[in-house]
């Protein structure tokens, strides 16, 4: 048999990827070798002196102990943003510096420094708004060509920061101030004594408009802004005239753009009715719900400019269609779960009603001893191969209703540390959507298979009536930062329907996500899973239907499906399950994040967790690289309370968060 050296190669590759990722924190030039995705950012160093251009150095001196203003100045400066693109001659350099003067003054005014003074020294020649001296600066800069970087220094005297003295927010037209019950102070937030920053004022305006729009006033706007600066008093008086606009409901909804998708299907995913109160949240919910239709690409909701005769706001849902067919493949690897390959093909609009037909194949290989084989065990073994082929069909919006038809067929050979199984399965179900977040599903399931483990071989037939519910209020499927997910199911397999093993299986998983800041740079995520089987003794239940914990998506750090009651040292599964996970998802930059995590769980022999088995705990640290389609995930986990035979560590690589 050929040696499976590729397993060791994958392990070494995963280790090198981890080393490269962790090296991002090292201030070494060697880190550039791992900068495949631009993780380390660009260099702040200007180009070297040359005869073709005039590169320059840039330095900031901010007086009054206001060093925090330096970043504000850098963000506004074209000298800063174009430093890696030096001008061709001295005149262009002097002109670039002169053009920065009003920009920097505006930035300081925006921060509340209305007495600020700025000078830009080009090769020792100061430029100010009152005395630009661009020709003298150009002559001085020309002497540095091909010799050295032209020294440029931005010298700022910000002066004192102005404060708001009077803040008046009045109704446009009448001029009367809003009562606290009409416009709560918690919405406005700015008040006398606050810094007179333009960004704070604009943010207050946006909050006021958003508040009135959320109160079913779609045409709310700030009609007039009157800031008056009093330089001797170092103060600003601010007056805002706000027009809340009329209250409105949601009017007629017109669907445009999806020529090959039945509009009745789209309408079934709209859960608001004409006359319902208007709100941006209702429109966002509508957009999210329609986006669930796989045949559709972008979803844009355009509001009419006037209300209709009933006082409602007409809406226009503008859609684009996705390509009819899609094909894809993926690969993943874990040191405990082994390698896996997946390929799929799908048609997104089979008959014009957004029907989806999908074929998917998976191939996976069980690595021995938690993915760390001995040298003598590295030969490939066909019995350790597993695979599954699945065909699924979805017909959404049956007869224009909120009911969907789902049909699935599965052929599988599974191989784990504890058992081998072969099966065929077919399921047909109807799903009813109550809203974009909540649905229930019921149907019928048939499965025929064979399982083999240390307890023996079971040939079985199961005919069941699965019932499930799903609730998902999260904001993102692959990277949720807020909301709750809940999936629960119960499936009785009664003997009178033809089941050879009369059992009832109940499962449930709940996860919650909470952002600690507005930018969602710090997110707490938690998950708990429960399961129970009643109606038969453990040894009578097919091994693939018993509960196991361990591996990616369960208790990281342990071998896949290895945590359960054992017999003769082999995991045999249980009749109940408990799992829990806690993660702190921390963004270090816009694209890089770290995730410390803790997982815990195991399976029990009884139908309900009686904790006769020791709860196993895994902990570790993850690295995330955030992309437009979702985060790329690399987790390293270790068992906290391992037993003999458990791996010393595990590495997981995938797309999307762990849960």
Using the predicted structure, report yes or no on whether residue 655 has a pLDDT greater than 90: no
Using the predicted structure, report yes or no on whether residue 21 has a pLDDT greater than 80: no
pLDDT reported for residue 645: 86
pLDDT reported for residue 364: 85
DSSP letter for each residue of 530-555: EEEEESS-GGGS-GGGSB-B-STTSS
pLDDT reported for residue 493: 98
Q: pLDDT-derived band of residue 428, with 50, 70 and 90 as boundaries?
A: very high
The first and second tokens of residue 66, run together, are 């206001």
The first and second tokens of residue 653, run together, are 């690589």
Range 105-115 average pLDDT: 94
Query: pLDDT tens digits, residue range 563-593?
Result: 999 998 899 999 999 999 999 999 999 999 9
d(CA 80, CA 73): 9
Strands of 285-436, DSSP E? 296-303, 312-321, 325-334, 338-347, 356-365, 385-395, 403-415, 419-433
Using the predicted structure, report yes or no on whether residue 561 has a pLDDT greater than 90: no
**b/e burial code for range 622-638 (CB count within 10 A of at least 16 → b):** bbbbbeeebbbbbbbbb
For the entire predicted model, the pTM comes to 0.76
pLDDT reported for residue 371: 43
pLDDT reported for residue 22: 33
Q: pLDDT-derived band of residue 31, with 50, 70 and 90 as boundaries?
A: very low
Query: pLDDT tens digits, residue range 194-246?
Result: 999 998 999 999 999 999 999 999 999 999 999 999 999 999 999 999 999 99
Query: pLDDT tens digits, residue range 337-379?
Result: 678 899 999 999 999 999 999 999 999 887 554 444 444 445 6
pLDDT reported for residue 337: 64
d(CA 494, CA 502): 5
SS3 labels along 567-625: ECCEECCECEEEEEEEEEEEECCCCEEEEEEEEEEEEECCCCCCCCCCCEEEEEEEEEE
Q: Percent helix, strand, coil in the chain (nearest 5)? A: 20, 45, 35
d(CA 57, CA 124): 13
Lowest-pLDDT choice from 44-48, 327-331, 432-436, 510-514: 44-48
Query: pLDDT tens digits, residue range 136-183?
Result: 999 999 999 999 999 999 999 999 999 999 999 999 989 999 999 999
pLDDT reported for residue 32: 36
Share of the chain above pLDDT 70, in %: 90
3-state SS class at 21: helix
Using the predicted structure, report yes or no on whether residue 9 has a pLDDT greater than 70: no
Query: pLDDT tens digits, residue range 612-643?
Result: 889 999 999 999 999 988 899 999 999 999 99
Question: Across all residues in the chain, what is the average pLDDT?
Answer: 89
The first and second tokens of residue 121, run together, are 């020294």
d(CA 475, CA 523): 13
Q: pLDDT-derived band of residue 605, with 50, 70 and 90 as boundaries?
A: very high
Query: pLDDT tens digits, residue range 246-273?
Result: 999 999 999 999 889 999 999 999 999 8
Q: How many C-beta atoms surround the C-beta of residue 76 within 10 A? A: 19
Which residue in 475, 434, 533, 532 sits closest to 657, CA to CA? 475
Using the predicted structure, report yes or no on whether residue 23 has a pLDDT greater than 80: no
Q: pLDDT-derived band of residue 44, with 50, 70 and 90 as boundaries?
A: low
pLDDT reported for residue 19: 33
| Residue 482 buriedness (CB in 10 A; 0-12 / 13-18 / 19+) | middle
pLDDT reported for residue 379: 66
């Amino acid at each position: 048999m050929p040696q499976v050296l590729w397993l060791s190669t994958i392990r070494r590759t995963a280790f090198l990827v981890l080393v490269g990722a962790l090296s991002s924190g090292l201030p070494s030039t060697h880190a550039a070798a791992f900068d495949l995705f631009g993780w380390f950012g660009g260099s702040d160093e200007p180009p070297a002196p040359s005869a073709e251009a005039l590169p320059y150095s840039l330095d900031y001196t901010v007086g009054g102990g206001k060093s925090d203003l330096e970043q504000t100045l850098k963000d506004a400066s074209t000298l800063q943003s174009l430093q890696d693109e030096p001008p061709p001659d001295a005149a262009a350099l002097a002109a670039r510096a002169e053009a920065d003067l009003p920009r920097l003054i505006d930035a300081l005014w925006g921060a509340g420094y209305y007495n600020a003074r700025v000078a830009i020294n080009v090769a020792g020649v100061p430029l100010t708004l009152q005395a630009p001296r661009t020709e003298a600066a150009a002559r001085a800069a020309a002497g540095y060509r091909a010799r050295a970087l032209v020294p440029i220094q931005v010298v700022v005297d910000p002066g004192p920061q102005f404060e708001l003295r009077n803040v008046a927010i009045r109704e446009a037209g009448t001029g009367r101030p809003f009562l606290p019950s009409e416009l709560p102070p918690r919405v406005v937030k700015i008040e006398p004594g606050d810094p007179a920053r333009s960004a704070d004022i604009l943010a207050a305006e946006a909050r006021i408009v958003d508040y009135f729009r959320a109160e079913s006033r779609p045409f709310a706007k700030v009609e007039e802004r009157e800031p008056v600066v009093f330089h001797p008093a170092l103060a600003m008086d601010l007056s805002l005239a706000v027009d809340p606009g009329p209250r409105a409901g949601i009017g007629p909804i017109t669907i445009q753009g999806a020529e090959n998708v039945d509009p009745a299907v789209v309408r079934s995913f709209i859960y608001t009715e004409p006359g319902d109160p208007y709100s941006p949240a209702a429109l966002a919910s509508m957009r999210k719900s329609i986006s669930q239709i796989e045949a559709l690409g972008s979803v844009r909701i355009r509001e009419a400019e006037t209300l209709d005769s009933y006082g409602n706001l007409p809406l226009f849902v503008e859609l684009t269609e996705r390509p009819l067919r899609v094909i894809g493949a993926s690969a993943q690897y874990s040191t405990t779960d082994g390698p896996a390959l997946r390929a799929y093909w799908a048609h997104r609009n089979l008959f014009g009603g957004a029907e989806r037909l999908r074929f998917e194949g998976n191939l996976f290989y069980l690595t021995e001893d938690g993915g760390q084989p001995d040298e003598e065990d590295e030969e490939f073994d066909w019995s350790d191969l597993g695979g599954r082929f699945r065909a699924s069909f979805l017909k959404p919006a049956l007869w224009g209703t909120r009911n969907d038809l789902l049909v699935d067929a599965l052929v599988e050979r599974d191989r784990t540390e504890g058992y081998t199984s072969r099966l065929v399965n077919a399921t047909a179900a109807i799903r009813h959507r109550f809203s974009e977040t909540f649905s229930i599903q019921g149907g019928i399931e048939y499965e025929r298979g064979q399982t083999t483990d240390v307890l023996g071989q079971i040939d079985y037939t199961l005919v069941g009536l699965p019932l499930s519910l799903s609730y998902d209020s999260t904001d993102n499927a692959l990277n949720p930062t807020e909301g709750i997910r809940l999936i629960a199911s119960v499936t009785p397999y009664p003997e009178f329907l033809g089941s050879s093993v009369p059992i009832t299986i109940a499962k449930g998983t709940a996860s919650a996500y909470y952002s600690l800041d507005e930018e969602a740079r710090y997110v707490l995520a938690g998950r708990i899973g429960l399961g129970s089987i009643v109606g038969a003794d453990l040894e009578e239940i097919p091994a693939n239907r018993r509960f196991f914990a361990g591996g990616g998506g369960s208790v990281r750090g342990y071998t896949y499906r290895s945590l359960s009651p054992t017999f003769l040292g082999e995991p045999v599964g249980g009749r109940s399950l408990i799992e829990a996970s806690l993660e702190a998802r921390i963004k270090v930059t816009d694209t890089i994040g770290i995730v410390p995590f803790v997982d815990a769980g195991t399976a029990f022999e009884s139908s309900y967790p009686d904790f006769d088995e020791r709860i196993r705990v895994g902990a570790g640290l993850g690295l995330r690289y955030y992309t437009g389609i979702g985060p790329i995930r690399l987790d390293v986990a270790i068992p906290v309370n391992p037993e003999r035979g458990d791996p010393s560590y595990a590495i997981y690589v995938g797309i999307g968060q762990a849960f």
